[in-house]
Amino acid sequence: MESTKLAPRDKPKLGIIGWRGMVGSVLLERMKCEADFNYFQTTFYSSSQAGSAAPAIDDNTGKNAGNLLSNPTIGDAYDYSDLSKLDIILTTQGGSYSEKVLPKLRHMGWQGYWIDAASTFRMHPNTKIVLDPINRADLLTAISQGIKTFAGANCSTATLLLGLAGLFQASLIETLSFMSYQSISGAGAQAMKELIAQHDYISKNQSAHAHHTHSAIEQEKNLTQALHDENFPKTSLSVPLATNILPWIDSDLGTGSSREELKTMDETNKILSIAAHKRIPIDGTCVRVGVLRSHSFGCTIRLRKNLAIAEIEQIIAGAHPWVKLIPNTKEATLRHLTPIACAKTLDIHVGRLRKTRIDAYTINAFVIADQLLWGAAEPLRRMLHLILERYAHEPTLFNNENALIKK
């Protein structure tokens, strides 16, 4: 995705907050890779490292040498006067920061663009959920209409919707039931480190018993005992995830469902701008698995039409360039339809596509994508370019002297 380059004085002022976390670090690498910093006057902000040296950002294309940041030092993430001078704020800092800062900036009269990875304002009426290429046209329209708050989708919503985009866009899905297999990186850096520590603990335990443990059943017994050790690392996860699965993600809604499960239906229908009386019923069970990166989904989909598998494959594969259809064979599935095959790539793999024995309208599919990319970082950086695209046609979109318009 490429934007028209602007003269330095015309480049919008961008502030980035939360770049050191899991999502933020992936976003930063993507922006470096795509030379995104060429298009902005960028300042990094932090709640704890204000005044420190900002990370060096060079154009990796070699076209421009030197640091591309407009400010060599890190700004204060709670300096409202400084923040109010920005045209765009992109934050992956988390919901508590967003909840505190955005309302105050708006109350001050700030008219800039807020792009947020957190769920805090995601379902607000005046917030658009960003998932280009799925709702690219809607996002451009929203910018034209003066919408200034944009939020990334939940990671599971985004990856599932991108995989099945063709069926959704053709209005072919009547209902969708899914089982998610969500990687630990979706729970954050500390949780991922703890899973690695759990495996390390198990490995050391097995090594300690290696000389006098001969049978598999004895090894299993020792391992199971280790999982219940008082010192077994489970501060973040509260229970072992290594050699285990956790069929509950996010808070308890008191309805039998978790918040993660509700998000998928609510956000999908909002992203697709589906009217309340025409909402697509979507439900499932979200499960945390001991995978480091990439979310997977086993889907049972009831279609509105009885279509041949070949036609369904064509619709799915033609949705956008990142969908990769995996043949429904054992060899192709085991080689390409795995979290490892998708990790650190923008490819979204869809496979195990077949008719079910339920009826002619119901199909099965399996979807996998790197949730740190498409489920978090990539839609945010693409939203930056949509704002630039609109700016190229409407130069007055930004007030480059100060994005704060006094009341």
pLDDT along the chain (407 residues), means of 10: 54 94 95 94 91 78 58 93 97 96 98 97 97 97 97 97 98 98 96 97 87 82 93 96 97 96 97 95 98 98 98 98 98 98 98 98 99 97 94 64 39
- Cβ-contact 14, 42 below 8 angstroms: yes
Structure letter (DSSP) for residue 73: B
- Class of domain 157-183+247-370 as given by CATH: alpha beta
What is the DSSP-derived secondary structure letter of residue 358? S
Q: Which helix (H) or strand (E) holds 99?
A: helix 95-108
Domains of the chain, residue spans: 8-153+376-393, 157-183+247-370, 189-245
Which of the following is catalytic: 295, 299, 336, 342?
A: 295
Residue 286, helix vs strand vs coil: strand
User: What gap in Å lies between CA 215 and CA 218, rounded to an integer?
Assistant: 5
Backbone angles phi, psi at 169, to 5 degrees: -70, -25
Q: For residues 82 and 149, what is the distance between their CA atoms, to the nearest angstrom?
A: 19
29: closest CA among 370, 400, 397, 399? 370
Q: Catalytic pick from 33, 107, 124, 155?
A: 155
Q: Which of 372, 365, 378 is nearest to 164 (CA)?
A: 365
- In the DSSP assignment, the letter for residue 239 is S
Two structure tokens written together for 407? 């009341």
Q: What is the pLDDT of residue 404?
A: 41
d(CA 177, CA 282) in angstroms, rounded, equals 6
CB count in 10 Å sphere of residue 145: 8
Sheet containing strand 245-246, strands side by side: 245-246, 282-289, 173-182, 295-303, 362-369, 348-355, 323-325
- Is position 155 annotated as part of the catalytic site? yes
**pTM for this entry:** 0.91
At 407 the pLDDT is 29
Tokens of 327: 């043949």
Cα separation, 254 vs 257, in Å, equals 7
Tell me the C-alpha distance between 206 and 297, whole Å. 32
Question: 8-153+376-393: what fold?
Answer: Rossmann fold (3.40.50)
DSSP string of 25-62, one letter each residue? HHHHHHHHHTTGGGGSEEEEEESS-TTSBPPP-B-TTS
Cβ neighbour number for residue 102 with a 10 Å cutoff: 21
Integer CA distances (angstroms), 98 to 32, 95, 106, 117, 354, in order: 25, 5, 12, 9, 43
Interior angle at CA 374, CA 339 and CA 13, nearest 5: 145
Per DSSP, what are the bridge partners of residue 178? 284, 299
Would you state the pLDDT for residue 57? 82
Q: To the nearest 10°, report the CA torsion of 328, 329, 335, 336.
A: -10
